[in-house]
């Protein structure tokens, strides 16, 4: 495995950063999870745009231009000769001191990892997954805007612990007002009376790339999509429910807190959108040139 680290491709065992890096010390940084399908990096431009928006919001100047970041990502995929993979692109504030002042960090650290990922077993896509509602609330926008994809994931991790203790793969998170935000690592949708609904981003959800793609696919086939406010009453009484995420893709939900969703099977609209996404993911993105040189420059 070759990992991009600050302008160079290095073997995994040499891909190290200082313990004084503020990404390690404080979770000060941003990241993107990106998928490669059959040599196609799915919606890479959208991921890079979101990365730079997150960086701008936390007042961090990235050391590469967006075009250079795209080039570095594609070359790292090519260097690892991966046709299907998961990319983790991480930018931390960089080396500093033990204080939290970001001004003490001169240059951000950029790392690009290309590996494999399997979040859910295949049977979950066929049979669906159960969810529970975590007691951990999503951090409100007035404290930290959920649209920032930051390295500090403790809020989500604590909710994931709730899911693990309950024996389910994922947990639903509410915001401080008690409305649905998202899951620990996925966006969530419900179907009610033929309409597709998902929490508005200002209720605590990250603007997922897969979320956006599924909304576009629904509109293309005439399915109404509404970003709205959802409460647990709406979730329990949904006709269908599913999750979306870069790692998860589209996963049916069959129960929440022991309440059966619909007939307890993945619904027709869920299957339709999952199939449409499977076709979209291999053609909507940027193709990898696997003949590029191994060396990667800034």
Q: Which residues are catalytic?
A: 149
What's the first-to-final CA gap in the chain, in angstroms? 19
Q: What are phi and psi of 35, to 5 degrees?
A: -110, 150
- Nearest residue to 179 (alpha-carbon basis) of 170, 188, 192: 188
Contact 239, 219 (CB under 8 A): no
Q: State both tokens at 241.
A: 């429910």
Question: Strand ranges (DSSP E) for the chain?
Answer: 2-5, 8-11, 29-37, 40-42, 85-92, 109-115, 129-133, 170-174, 180-183, 187-192, 195-199, 225-228, 240-245, 249-256, 259-260, 285-287
* Dist CA 37 CA 107 (whole Å): 32
Block residue for tokens 């990235």: 62
Instruction: For Cα atoms 103, 107, 113, give the angle at the middle one, nearest 5 degrees.
Output: 130
* Dist CA 274 CA 240 (whole Å): 13
Contact 262, 270 (CB under 8 A): no
């Amino acid at each position: 495995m070759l990992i991009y680290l600050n302008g160079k491709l290095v073997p995994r065992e040499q891909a190290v950063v200082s313990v004084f890096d503020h990404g390690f010390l404080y979770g000060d940084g941003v990241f993107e999870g990106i998928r490669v399908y059959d040599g196609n990096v799915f919606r890479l431009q959208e991921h890079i745009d979101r990365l730079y928006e997150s960086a701008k919001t936390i007042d961090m100047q990235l050391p590469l231009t967006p075009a250079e970041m795209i080039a570095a990502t594609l070359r790292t995929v090519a260097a690892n000769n991966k046709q299907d993979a998961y990319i983790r692109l991480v930018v931390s504030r960089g080396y500093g001191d033990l204080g939290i002042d970001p001004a003490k960090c001169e240059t951000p650290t950029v790392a690009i990892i290309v590996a494999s990922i399997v979040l859910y077993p295949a049977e979950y896509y066929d049979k669906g997954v159960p969810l529970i509602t975590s007691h951990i609330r999503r951090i409100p926008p007035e404290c930290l805007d959920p649209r920032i994809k930051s390295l500090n994931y403790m809020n989500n991790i604590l909710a994931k612990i709730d899911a693990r203790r309950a024996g389910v793969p994922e947990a639903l998170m509410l915001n401080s007002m008690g409305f649905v935000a998202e899951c620990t690592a996925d966006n969530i949708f419900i179907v009610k009376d033929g309409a597709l609904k998902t929490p508005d981003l200002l209720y605590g959800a990250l603007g997922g790339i897969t979320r956006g793609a599924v909304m576009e696919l629904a509109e293309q086939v005439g399915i109404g999509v509404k970003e709205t406010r959802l409460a647990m009453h709406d979730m329990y009484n949904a006709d269908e429910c599913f999750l979306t995420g870069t790692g998860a893709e589209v996963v049916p939900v069959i129960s929440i807190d022991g309440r059966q969703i619909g007939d307890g099977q993945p619904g027709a609209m869920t299957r339709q959108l999952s199939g449409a996404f499977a076709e979209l993911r291999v053609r909507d993105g940027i193709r990898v040139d696997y003949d590029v040189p191994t060396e990667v420059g800034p």
